[in-house]
Amino acid sequence: MALKGALSMGRLSNSMVSRQALQKPRAFISRRGQSFSSTGTVLASMPPAGGPQPSPAGIPETRGMCKHDLVGQLLAAKEASGKTFTQISKEIGLTNAFTAQLFYNQAQLKSGREEVLRKACPALTDELVAAMKRAPMRGFDPSILKEPHIYRMTEAVTHYGESIKAIMNEELGDGIMSAIDMYATIDVIKGKAGENRLVISLNGKFLPHVEQVSEDNTAKSPK
């Protein structure tokens, strides 16, 4: 009976730990032992436990580094600049949302923009810039949908989704808005009462659904 009770307590303890882990806010852990919030702010520092040696600028090599670790190092470099994403975006000539995507490894840094980015964010090493220039594996951790703001954004889009689609169809016909040929910006304005208000703009190309005419099919199936 004692053994059975101990096993039950063990399962209960593991279950509680699992639930607590899921409830923790999302953070990026760098190989330097620093954890970063989704804004790039350093949350805590821990002693390093092995891993690649830091470069002269204090940023580890990126060879063999997973996306999670790479993002931690990119955010560390951004934090070292003391600038916001919007400030950096103005210096490099990109939208603030796209600039943030670069640091979260959700967008590719195009050739010709390395110098201006390094000037805006001096802590970026050659290795980090090279990693930013590679085509990223885009995606997201499903657990971020539990974060209150992201959940509310998802809720807002789904709540207004049918109405947005109906207006789009009325104005442009049957189609979708591209998320590839799209410009995203985040702005802060003042309301009538002087309150801060957030303006999120998604400027996407309209892509009409095509009628699949057989004669236009250039990749016909073999007979």
Positions marked active-site: 152, 155, 178
Calpha distance 72→216 (Å, rounded): 48
Are 95 and 183 a contacting pair, CB within 8 Å?
yes
Structure tokens at 40: 């790039």
Are 184 and 95 a contacting pair, CB within 8 Å?
yes
Calculated CA dihedral for residues 90, 92, 94, 100, nearest 10 degrees: -90
Structure tokens at 66: 């997973």
Distances (CA, A) of 18 to 21, 151, 164: 5, 21, 39
